[in-house]
Amino acid sequence: MKYALVTGGSRGIGRAICLKLAEMNYHVLINYQSNENEALITLHQITEKGHKGELLRFDVSIKESVEAALEGWSNQNPDAIIEVLVNNAGIRKDNLMLMMKTEEWLDVINTNLNGFFYVTKPLLRNMLIRRYGRVINIVSLSGVKGQAGQTNYSAAKAGLIAATKALALEIGKKNITVNAVAPGFVTTDMTKDFNEKEFSAMIPLNRFGLPEEIAEVVGFLASDKASYITGEVINVNGGLYT
């Protein structure tokens, strides 16, 4: 049995990634923080197609929560090794820097950047022992080019991009790849407050992306077909920024 963990896997891009990895015959651990109903929908969509998965609840921004959940799962599944990790969990709390509250800065940094560290570090040991693994970080166009009103989000995602490149250099010799996928505007709950028609006019392909289109790239990076790609950031933004 092959295992994959997707943080923030209950809906949107995370759900699409869970479904894609399940199609690739991974037993998918669907992480969620609070919305169990949406996580159960993701699990149902996996199992109704004859694939396997389970829910794993923890808050990526809290180190103790991550450690307790991963250690508990490992104790219950002593022979199982998570070989694919998708760090997808993320939040936005947009505001102009001058108006930004300290908690808006810290909450976004803790979830989007510190969460990567809290989840990835404990899973690396088994990947290194087995000399195989895939770490895929979902970043953002905002982390690649910056975005007004998103200094917190841009900083977190840019930091994750740099961490992706650094970690890839550290563990490449152990046959573990580390890559990032940077979506542009994608139709999800995170963009529901955007004027899709207005923003689409700025995109060369003239539309928002679909979660499934992001998931396809993640699936490729998780596969053996991408075994010679590491330390890269793949932009999936309809040509908005290249």
Q: Where in the sequence numbering do the catalytic residues fall? A: 153
Q: Which long-range contacts (CB under 8 A, 24 or more apart) does 160-169 make?
A: 160/87, 160/112, 160/113, 160/116, 161/137, 161/233, 163/113, 163/116, 163/117, 163/137, 164/135, 164/137, 164/139, 164/231, 164/233, 165/231, 167/120, 167/135, 168/230, 168/231, 169/231
Strand order in the sheet with 53-57: 53-57, 26-32, 2-6, 82-87, 133-138, 176-183, 233-236
- List the one residue out of 48, 58, 70, 53 whose CA is nearest residue 18: 53
- List the one residue out of 164, 58, 61, 149 whose CA is nearest residue 109: 61
Contact 183, 210 (CB under 8 A): no
The CA distance from 187 to 199, in Å, is 12
DSSP string, 25-40: TEEEEEEESS-HHHHH
